[in-house]
Structure 1
Amino acid sequence: MSQSKKLSKNQIKFLKGIAHGLNPIIIIGANGVTDSLMEELEKTLEHHELLKIKMASAERSDRKEIIDYILQNTGAQLVQSIGKTVVIFRPSEESELQLPK
């Protein structure tokens, strides 16, 4: 869980553009954030770097807590949060994604 430097506005804009065409890979259901969900999230982040997550049944106040928990436990950074959809980014060691300066 290495904490990388904060994303710049240009980098966030770039990542939002890529994420726009993505489908949610992780869907958080009625059970909320479980250990198995976090394991799957880790594996998926290692492989994809940029993830779109859908929170199917969470209330607005719960969504903020879920997002904070995910970011804290994965070392990922928040790119965007709109409604029940959140986009996070964590570069991998062998990143193929070249971020702008």
Structure 2
Amino acid sequence: MSLSSAQKKAFRSIGHHLQPIVTVSENGLSEGALQELERALRDHELIKVKLALPERDDRRAMIEELIQLSGAELVQTLGKVALLYRHNPKANPKLSNIQRAEDHHGRH
């Protein structure tokens, strides 16, 4: 499922306020980091990942790996941070960054 530009724009504005949940270093993806990524995507759907890699090409390659391993989609990269999204129809509304944002905006 590819995100539309409208969805990406909405997700970027939600993501703007998020703190990175997972950090990936030059050592690559440890088992713990993979589990954390999986849990974060499952719970929050939209997450930021910090790429503690000095080289832009290495960061790009790591993002590709993250996407392949997690099935998430890349919404945006900003410097050393990637914004990833993976839909979870069973996400807890209290944890999902998407559902929380929709609730917040829908109840004025």
TM-score class, shorter: 0.7 to 0.9
Does 2:10 match 1:7? Answer: no
Which residue does 1:71 correspond to in 2? 67
TM-score by length of 1: 0.85
Which residue does 1:51 correspond to in 2? 47
Which residue does 2:76 correspond to in 1? 80
TM-score by length of 2: 0.80
Q: Distance in 2 between matches of 1:33 and 1:6?
A: 25
Which residue does 1:35 correspond to in 2? 31
**Identical aligned pairs, as a percentage?**
38
What secondary structure is seen at the aligned counterpart in 1 of 2:83?
strand
CA drift of 1:93 comes to: 2.0
Higher relative contact order (CA 8 A, sep 6+): 1
8 Å contact 2:47–2:85 — kept in the other structure? yes
Runs of 4+ in 1 over 6 A off after TM superposition: none
Q: 1:17 aligns with which of 3, 9, 13?
A: 13
What secondary structure is seen at the aligned counterpart in 2 of 1:25?
strand
Q: Which runs of 5+ in 2 are unaligned?
A: 103-108
**Per-residue CA distance 1:16-52 (angstroms, 9 max, x = gap):** 0000011111111242222221111101110110000
